[in-house]
Structure 1
Amino acid sequence: MKFLKTNFLLLIVTAFLLQSCAVQPSRTQSSIKWTKEKANKWYAKQGWLAGANFIPSTAINQLEMWQAASFDTATINRELGLAESIGMNTMRVYLHDLLWDQDSTGFVKRMNTFLEITQRHKIKPMFVLFDSCWDPFPKLGTQRSPTPFVHNSGWVQSPGYEALKDSTQYPRLERYVKGVVRNFRNDKRVLAWDVWNEPDNTNNSSYGKRELPNKVQYVFPLLKKTFEWSRSVNPSQPLTSGVWLGDWSSPEKMKEIDKLQLEESDIITFHNYDSSEEFEKRIKWLQPLGRPVICTEYMARGNRSTFQGSMPIAKKYNVGVYNWGLVDGKTQTKMPWDSWDKKYTGEPVIWFHEIFHTDGRPYRHEEIVLIKKLTSDAKATK
């Protein structure tokens, strides 16, 4: 009898363990790329996404935005209020690896404060982990003043030149990626993670001569690792990295890094600063992938990319959109790209980016009317 009781108990325990294994997803299962079905189900819950690439007007770059000494919550709150007033519901916001090294606890605390502010304004941010654009030599501490009348004269890359070329720094970068994503992996205030902005940008018109030779050869394997690091902590939000240059109409025409970005992304993102016709063409190139499509950078008035041209097309195809720039400030992105080559001594005739003056006045009233209409229509049909 004792033997039967023992075996009976063993059977119960075994059955319980088998059932637990069956219903609990393994770490490996939950760390893989989202299925198309999961991605589209997630996107359907968001409503139409419309926002901007955001940095407060008092910051010249990511470091000045986030460091404790210059973290300007008053300006952030005021300017996100402007975004909310025209119906925007999301912002794309850049982080930086050096911030984690400087003070990981404080950085996470400031990110949480930022999310409290975004939530107050009904805005869900997409955070950008790495960025290959502009100055390849970032430094912590007080940031330099803007170069007069030069577009994005103080923006910095992450990781910088030194970290990118030195594989012994990769564990540090891994700690940053995993640390940030892990802290907010189940935070419903976070929309998504953009793991690397324009990874193969070599900044030929600005810092090209100072860039790391064969930069893309260093970026490519690190981009793949960044997707792996991000997925390893099982975020509830989707991962992406936006294609931005070239022909994406078929795999045969794509660069290898474009293929990697699209293959690893849970949701598809892209950049386009061209005419409305080009904007629509690129949407159609990406639609056959069967995943949600979002344009994470557009709107450069001097380059024929406008709210009036691109935003209604995005709405038509249910493509989310983030224009570059919200409020005119230290980044000076109202200046055109060619301000790196051509000397300007005053404000451009046509603002390249940005929606509002520093004091909150709209740059163009008709743009505000359009944005409000499209975002309010989206809310009405949700």
Structure 2
Amino acid sequence: MMHINKNILRSILVLSYIAIIAFVLFGLSSLYTYLNTGADRSTMLHTEIKKIDQYLPRLKWDVLNNEGRLMDEQTLNAIENDYLDAWYVKQIAYKTNTTEGIDDYFTENARKNITDFVEANSKNNISVEGTTLEHHLTLDFFSEDGQLVVMTDTNVVEYKRVYDNKTLILETTETSTYKIILLLEDGFWRIRHMVKEQSGDYKNPVVLEKNVITNIKGINYYPQATPWDMFGNEFDTEILSKDFKLIKESGLNSIRIFVPYDDFGKANVNPEKLQKLKQVLDIAKKNQLKVMVTLFDFYGDYSVLNWTLNQRHAEIIVSSLKNHKALLAWDIKNEPNLDFDSRGENLVTAWLDNMITLVTSVDANHPVTIGWSNAQSATILKDKVDFVSFHYYEKLDDLDTVIKTLKKDIPSKPLVMQEFGMSSYKGIWKPFGSSEEDQANYHKKAQDIIAHNNLQFMSWTLYDFTKIPKEVVGRLPWRKRAQEHFGFINQKGETKPAYKYISKE
């Protein structure tokens, strides 16, 4: 026994020695790696504030016809990037009343104006939240030594929100012209002078009248197996073809689909996802269906500094689909009024207003709408949209009055009841819920009201689902179970009694 204990002790000591040696060697290796790693530009010049693709306003260079040295593409890109980064750090400085990052993009002379402005605002509890949405640059001069640039930035679209002790006191959009001198220092193109030469109120571009939407008889669509994940790994064109054929045979002529902002890559739209979106429209076209595309699904930030990223996202998608024969309309955002309490009605509305302008500037032919969650919000931005969309999940007894009120308040725009429906769930989590027969009676009555008021519609939804993401209705089981049973077709693929009233010829 003594011999065995000595062997065990000896083994433990050997293993401990090996572990200590390994630990020491690892520490020396890490120290050597650290000492031999060169400092990068961001750590040397305190540019932690700069992030990849944080500021992407529209930017267009005029034809290069400058005085001095011939400009090369690589230098021009560097100037453009540093110039936009300078705007970005300045916007952060004005919003937070701090000057971190300013030294990297402005020379000592130029940064004095910024620091003075920040100090004055900080003293008076004033903050400015802003962004620029467009820049039109002309290169005036490039020095022979390659160290100095003079340029003009015309028709800069600037959006600003001014707060006094966190209370919004001013909201403005203006167009300005700037004269800029930049110096190349330490690998940066820093702003030496930035003078605003003129400024005026921004005027929305004139948009020609679009085609009036007059005959939408549609449905909100997700594949049964992948609700709220339509463009994921289980994307299946055969399923889409079967479903779209069924929708067309049901007497409907259109579908509404949703493009999730994060899932599609934000400002850098994923080409693979975009291709899947195009395939959806291709299949819809083959089945003689029109498609209403709802943008920015699951997006709820609206921060002004993110507007340029949002706009690049929308610009890529809209420009890619604007000539597709199956495209019916653009829905800017699904139920944005649900974000009023958390983000502020004024900010959300301003975001929507600017996004409508952007989408229309890219696609002047297809109409634009907003998917309001109720009729009460439907008058917001009614003069900006081409048709008014509202969702209705209240009592059908009040629907006729709601429609007549909307037609009175919005006499010049078509109305679309863009979502409506009833869950047929009645079970342990909701014992007093509605049955499938109740659901059928609901849709029969809804279609009678729709026909009586000559109303356009898109019901919710084709299928009952088995998986509802928590992001949609939360984790509460009685809410998830109810949401699973709004379809005209049950989880087994069988038509429910309500299917008879999916449309009314």
TM-score range, shorter chain: 0.5 to 0.7
What's the counterpart of residue 326 of structure 1? 462
| Counterpart contact for 1:275–1:309, Cα < 8 Å | no
What's the counterpart of residue 14 of structure 2? none
| Counterpart contact for 1:128–1:197, Cα < 8 Å | yes
Alignment of 1:123-202 (within 5 A): 123-131=289-297, 157-158=298-299, 160-161=300-301, 164-165=302-303, 167-202=304-339
What's the counterpart of residue 390 of structure 2? 270
CA distance in 1, matches of 2:500, 2:333: 33
| Counterpart contact for 2:389–2:416, Cα < 8 Å | yes
CA distance in 1, matches of 2:326, 2:282: 8
CA distance in 2, matches of 1:194, 1:119: 19
| Counterpart contact for 2:337–2:372, Cα < 8 Å | no
1:84 aligns with 2:84: no
In the alignment, structure 2 segments of 5+ residues that lack a partner are 1-201, 424-432
CA distance in 1, matches of 2:384, 2:234: 35
Flag the 1:229–1:338 CA change in 2: closer, same or farther, 3 A.
closer
Structure with the higher strand share, 1 or 2: 2
Alignment of 1:85-104 (within 5 A): 85-98=249-262, 99-101=264-266, 103-104=269-270
Residue 217 of structure 1 deviates from its aligned partner by 4.4
Flag the 1:370–1:168 CA change in 2: closer, same or farther, 3 A.
closer
Alignment of 1:289-304 (within 5 A): 289-301=411-423
| Counterpart contact for 1:195–1:240, Cα < 8 Å | yes
1:371 aligns with 2:496: no
Pairing partner for 1:353 from 479, 486, 501: 486
What's the counterpart of residue 43 of structure 1? 213
Flag the 1:186–1:342 CA change in 2: closer, same or farther, 3 A.
closer
| Counterpart contact for 2:337–2:373, Cα < 8 Å | no
Q: C-alpha root-mean-square deviation of aligned residues, in Å?
A: 3.3
| Counterpart contact for 2:468–2:484, Cα < 8 Å | no
What's the counterpart of residue 380 of structure 1? none
Alignment of 1:171-320 (within 5 A): 171-202=308-339, 213-245=342-374, 247=376, 258-288=378-408, 289-301=411-423, 306-320=442-456
| Counterpart contact for 1:241–1:262, Cα < 8 Å | no
CA distance in 2, matches of 1:33, 1:270: 24
SS in 2 for 1:116: helix
1:57 aligns with 2:224: yes
| Counterpart contact for 1:195–1:241, Cα < 8 Å | yes
CA distance in 1, matches of 2:280, 2:406: 32
| Counterpart contact for 1:79–1:327, Cα < 8 Å | no
Flag the 1:315–1:71 CA change in 2: closer, same or farther, 3 A.
same
Residue 108 of structure 1 deviates from its aligned partner by 2.5
Pairing partner for 1:105 from 271, 275, 288: 271
What's the counterpart of residue 17 of structure 1? none
* CA shift digits 1:42-82 (9 cap, x unpaired): 334xxx32221111112242xx2124x23222222222232
| Counterpart contact for 1:242–1:261, Cα < 8 Å | no
What's the counterpart of residue 6 of structure 1? none
What's the counterpart of residue 120 of structure 1? 286
Q: Amino acid of the residue matched to residue 260 of structure 2?
A: H
Q: Amino acid of the residue matched to residue 369 of structure 1?
A: K
Aligned length: 284
| Counterpart contact for 1:240–1:269, Cα < 8 Å | yes
Residue 356 of structure 1 deviates from its aligned partner by 0.6
CA distance in 2, matches of 1:340, 1:56: 22
Q: Amino acid of the residue matched to residue 82 of structure 1?
A: L
Flag the 1:351–1:186 CA change in 2: closer, same or farther, 3 A.
closer
Residue 196 of structure 1 deviates from its aligned partner by 1.3
CA distance in 1, matches of 2:249, 2:272: 30
* CA shift digits 1:70-110 (9 cap, x unpaired): 32222222222321221111111111222044643223321
The alignment-based identity, stated in percent, is 19
Residue 218 of structure 1 deviates from its aligned partner by 3.6
SS in 2 for 1:260: coil
SS in 2 for 1:43: coil
CA distance in 2, matches of 1:29, 1:60: 41
Flag the 1:195–1:70 CA change in 2: closer, same or farther, 3 A.
same
Could you say which structure has the greater relative contact order, defined with CA pairs below 8 angstroms and 6 or more residues apart?
1
Alignment of 1:12-51 (within 5 A): 32=206, 35=209, 38-39=210-211, 42-44=212-214, 48-51=215-218
Residue 339 of structure 1 deviates from its aligned partner by 8.4
* CA shift digits 1:102-158 (9 cap, x unpaired): 643223321211111111222111010124xxxxxxxxxxxxxxxxxxxxxxxxx12
Q: Amino acid of the residue matched to residue 368 of structure 2?
A: L
Residue 240 of structure 1 deviates from its aligned partner by 0.6
CA distance in 1, matches of 2:208, 2:417: 19
CA distance in 1, matches of 2:342, 2:484: 34
Residue 341 of structure 1 deviates from its aligned partner by 4.4
| Counterpart contact for 1:243–1:261, Cα < 8 Å | no
CA distance in 1, matches of 2:255, 2:467: 17
CA distance in 2, matches of 1:50, 1:177: 26
| Counterpart contact for 1:65–1:71, Cα < 8 Å | yes
CA distance in 1, matches of 2:451, 2:217: 9
What's the counterpart of residue 9 of structure 1? none
Structure with the higher helix share, 1 or 2: 1
Flag the 1:83–1:30 CA change in 2: closer, same or farther, 3 A.
farther
* CA shift digits 1:163-222 (9 cap, x unpaired): x34x3322111011111112222322111111111112049xxxxxxxx84444442221
